[in-house]
Structure 1
């Protein structure tokens, strides 16, 4: 799994603090969900969509890679199993969507779900206290955005 965070949050990459404070696509406020992607490219796209490539170009970020000890701990959510197909599209999450995610996160160590940014890519969501001992940090390194993704303005 791969995550991309501002450099200052690198040491606490799996705290779920941001999701706890404001909620997220698959968790309600008060649930310390950690959002990652299966591959680094999806992590970059997810953060780029939410924060903008300018932010990735101008504020230090770190790419984190972690491994899951046992792949059978991952519950993959088929798009047909989601009650409302709009949940898999870009947009503001609904209370029903967050409750659905909260339930998944209570029942499974890791939840893999299609990305709203790229429907053929996968995100991975987990709560560190639920998944304790089932994953390990592999590496964390300074992220450098390809500058072509934030070109200078043209007149």
Structure 2
């Protein structure tokens, strides 16, 4: 299964997920590594865009993330199974606690969750501590830059 992310070029292929481990994120706490991806390029662009301040950021690339085609490795999480407030910008940590618990269990390579930005979209939280992570392939598909018109809000 191919998934996507937009990343800063110099760390795009960092399989250790060191940056995410240091900073934490919506679905994981600081100190726990995670790799985020989107099911479509378009959603990957939107996910990066909401975390980008200006068009002249460091060089970006489109990263293809190929996961093993074994459905048993994934966990689909339905909206109704997520904690209350998971999609709020002022969540208070419910999504982070939920995702961190998922990552620490190491039962699945990834979980599919709805996007906060586009509710019909699907994002993945990939667990680099899972035994099947060695089968995950990251590759740079191409360079990427935002259309400057996106920043004229």
**Interval of TM-score (by shorter of Structure 1 and Structure 2):** 0.7 to 0.9
Contact kept? 1:15, 1:32, Cα under 8 Å: yes
Given the superposition, is the C-alpha separation of residues 91 and 40 from structure 1 closer, same or farther in structure 2, using an over 3 Å criterion?
farther
Contact kept? 1:24, 1:93, Cα under 8 Å: no
Instruction: Tell me whether 118-127 or 128-137 shows the greater mean CA deviation.
Output: 128-137
Given the superposition, is the C-alpha separation of residues 97 and 150 from structure 1 closer, same or farther in structure 2, using an over 3 Å criterion?
closer
Aligned residue number for residue 7 of structure 2: 5
Question: How many angstroms apart in 1 are the aligned matches of 2:12 and 2:138?
Answer: 11
Contact kept? 2:13, 2:138, Cα under 8 Å: no
Greater per-residue helix proportion: 1
Question: How many angstroms apart in 2 are the aligned matches of 1:64 and 1:109?
Answer: 18
Question: How many angstroms apart in 2 are the aligned matches of 1:9 and 1:47?
Answer: 14
Q: Secondary structure of the equivalent of 1:5?
A: strand
Backbone CA RMSD of aligned residues: 2.1
TM-score (norm 2): 0.84
Aligned residue number for residue 64 of structure 1: 63
Structure 1 residue 135: Cα displacement: 2.1
In the alignment, structure 2 segments of 5+ residues that lack a partner are none
TM-score (norm 1): 0.83
Question: How many angstroms apart in 1 are the aligned matches of 2:88 and 2:25?
Answer: 14
Asked if residue 103 in structure 1 is aligned to residue 104 in structure 2, the reply is no
Structure 1 residue 138: Cα displacement: 4.9
Q: How many residues of Structure 1 are paired with residues of Structure 2 in the alignment?
A: 147
Given the superposition, is the C-alpha separation of residues 145 and 97 from structure 1 closer, same or farther in structure 2, using an over 3 Å criterion?
closer
Deviations along 1:73-114, one digit per CA (max 9) or x if unpaired, are 221110000121x212333551x4322111222231111111
Given the superposition, is the C-alpha separation of residues 11 and 67 from structure 1 closer, same or farther in structure 2, using an over 3 Å criterion?
closer
The equivalences for 1:111-122 within 5 A come to 111-122=111-122
The equivalences for 1:75-114 within 5 A come to 75-84=75-84, 86-94=85-93, 96-105=94-103, 106=105, 107-114=107-114
In the alignment, structure 1 segments of 5+ residues that lack a partner are none
